[in-house]
Amino acid sequence: MMFNLLNKEIRLAAHPNLFVFALMGILVIVPAYPYGMVFIFACLGPYITFMYGRETNDIYYSALLPISKRDIVKSKFLLVCLSQMVSLLISLPFTFLRIIILPSGNPAGIEANAAFYGFGFLTFALFNLLFMTEFFKTAYKAGRAFLAAIIPAALVVIAMETMVHFPMFEWMDSTKASDFARQLPFLIIGIILYALGTWTAYKISAKRFEKVDL
Amino acid sequence: MDLLAVQGITKRYSSFTLQDISFSLPQGKIMGFIGKNGAGKTTTLKSILNMVKLDAGTTQMFGLNYYENEQRCKQEIGVVLGEIDFYKQKKLFSITDVTKRFYRAWDDTAYCKYMDAFALDPQKRVKELSSGMKVKYMLALALSHHAKLFILDEPTSGLDPVSRNDLLGLFRQLVKSGERSILFSTHITTDLEKCADLVTYIKDGKLLKSAETTEFIESFSFLKTLGETAPLSIDEIMVRTEKVIYDV
């Protein structure tokens, strides 16, 4: 069932830009760039896909399939989480590559390191919690949901990019193995918050969507 | 046996109420569901399908409570929402390939047969299909998973007379075996005289009558004017029932 739902989302519901924005993980190879934009792009993809879904009547089509309303919500979460994970996974080889070819670091903002990924998970958790739950109040108002979610998500990214310019957070802006141990808790907490936040978002969204009149 | 039995469906909106709608559709029959625009036809069909949350009422489908057995019942129904286009940019084969995985009884041979019979090219995009072809494509999908009950919302609206006649002929073909039933909403009442075994009429969210076509027509004899002897057409029944005199 999960495969069928995801297959439907990828082949019928997803806007091509979802994949394009997921590919933006590659940006971590740019010598000087605020890498937090990778997360912002990964948030834009689902928004455009949900707008596209409104145009293609995707929710109506899904409602006619032999699945429950809860499954419709599940399929959207599967797609969004997949695109977010792809975005991070794609960036991963380039973070290693840049250590070799660009050892001088990123002067524009945070390095692509464990703390960066921790913040990424945190940004996505916040986005999912706000965007998905707001969207499934109506299964229609994607714009309002996006605004409600992208502002707090962007604030997390801005905070991350700003923090690393203060000497006290220098360890967060490092790719040295010695600083990795200090960054690792960030990553672990980020992953835990992402899992918890997304699961909570799914539960709330499913409950809200049950009450929506299509 | 009734394939569909709707009991006391009620849905309240701020400015409209669908009130206590009850009717049943036996196996092998076509039911026309009529009412003027805004009478609540689509809301009724969506209520039956659990697309809108009911305030009261139940739906029995294939003898099962639909709301408790939704996924199981959906395996055996075909739905066409006439006014809604899906995935206009996608090719038919893509939609089919995704859709078929959800149905246990999907039959590829039957699918090819119906696509051929309806002259549908799987390589075409939805936007390239005429309104009639879109309905036929949805019917082909439903027939390919051996649907027994077809719920069609305004499948003939927007069609030219030839396509409409063609589609109505197809509906009769579908129920000929006595296994399948069709519930279709329309405001084009001439469609009903051509193919409906039963008629259900709603007005302003309330059920006026649900009966076999001849009984339905007879029950509105009180609308005849003095000297009229011939039975009223369904068109005349609707026009006379809905008549409004404007005080302007």
Could you read off the pLDDT of A144-198 as tens digits, one per residue?
Answer: 999 999 999 999 999 999 998 998 888 988 888 889 999 999 999 999 999 999 9
Domain of A168 in residue numbering reads as 2-210
Distance CA(B163)–CA(B174), nearest Å, equals 16
Asked whether residue B83 carries a pLDDT value surpassing 80, the answer given is no
B69 inside domain: yes
Optimal mutation site among B55, B87, B88, interface A, most CBs of chain A within 10 A: B87
Asked whether residue A209 carries a pLDDT value surpassing 90, the answer given is yes
Q: Domain end: B114, B130, B146, which one?
A: B146
Between strands B206-212 and B77-81, the pairing is: unpaired
B248 inside domain: no
Asked whether residue B204 carries a pLDDT value surpassing 90, the answer given is yes
Whether residue B33 is found in the same domain as residue B120: no
Task: Say what the pLDDT of residue B248 is.
Answer: 79
User: pLDDT tier at B42 (50, 70, 90 boundaries)?
Assistant: very high
Q: What phi and psi values does residue B117 have, to the nearest 5 degrees?
A: -60, -35
Whether residue B111 is found in the same domain as residue B175: no
Whether residue B69 is found in the same domain as residue B153: yes
Q: What predicted TM-score, i.e. pTM, was given to this entire model?
A: 0.92
B12 inside domain: yes
Domain count, chain B: 2
Could A7 and B102 be called an inter-chain contact, meaning their C-beta atoms sit closer than 8 Å? no
**Placement of tokens 């039957």 in the chain:** B110
Domain of B100 in residue numbering reads as 87-146
Which chain A residues touch B81 with a CB distance below 8 Å? 60, 64
- What is the identity of the amino acid at A161? E
| Distance to chain A for B85, nearest Cα, Å | 7
Minimum CA–CA partner of A62 in chain B:
B99
B122 inside domain: yes
Which chain A residues touch B105 with a CB distance below 8 Å? none
Select the more confidently predicted residue: A136 or B186: A136
Task: Say what the pLDDT of residue A94 is.
Answer: 94
Q: Is the dihedral of CA B122, B125, B130, B132 positive or negative?
A: positive
Domain count, chain A: 1
Whether residue B170 is found in the same domain as residue B237: yes
Whether residue B106 is found in the same domain as residue B123: yes
B247 inside domain: no
Q: Domain end: B131, B146, B161, which one?
A: B146
Segment 28-67 of chain B within 8 Å of chain A by CB? 46, 49-53
Instruction: Report the complex ipTM.
Output: 0.89
Q: What is the pLDDT of residues B88-130, one digit of tens each?
A: 999 999 999 999 999 999 999 999 999 998 999 999 999 999 8
CB-nearest to A66 from B50, B71, B90 is: B71
Could A60 and B84 be called an inter-chain contact, meaning their C-beta atoms sit closer than 8 Å? yes
Whether residue B59 is found in the same domain as residue B91: no
Cα separations (Å) of A180 from A28, A145, A156, A158, A173?
18, 36, 21, 22, 10
Tell me what the mean pLDDT of segment B31-40 comes to: 93
Which chain A residues touch B46 with a CB distance below 8 Å? 213-214
Whether residue B191 is found in the same domain as residue B135: no
Cα separations (Å) of B72 from A40, A68, B5, B85?
41, 10, 16, 25
Task: Say what the pLDDT of residue B192 is.
Answer: 86
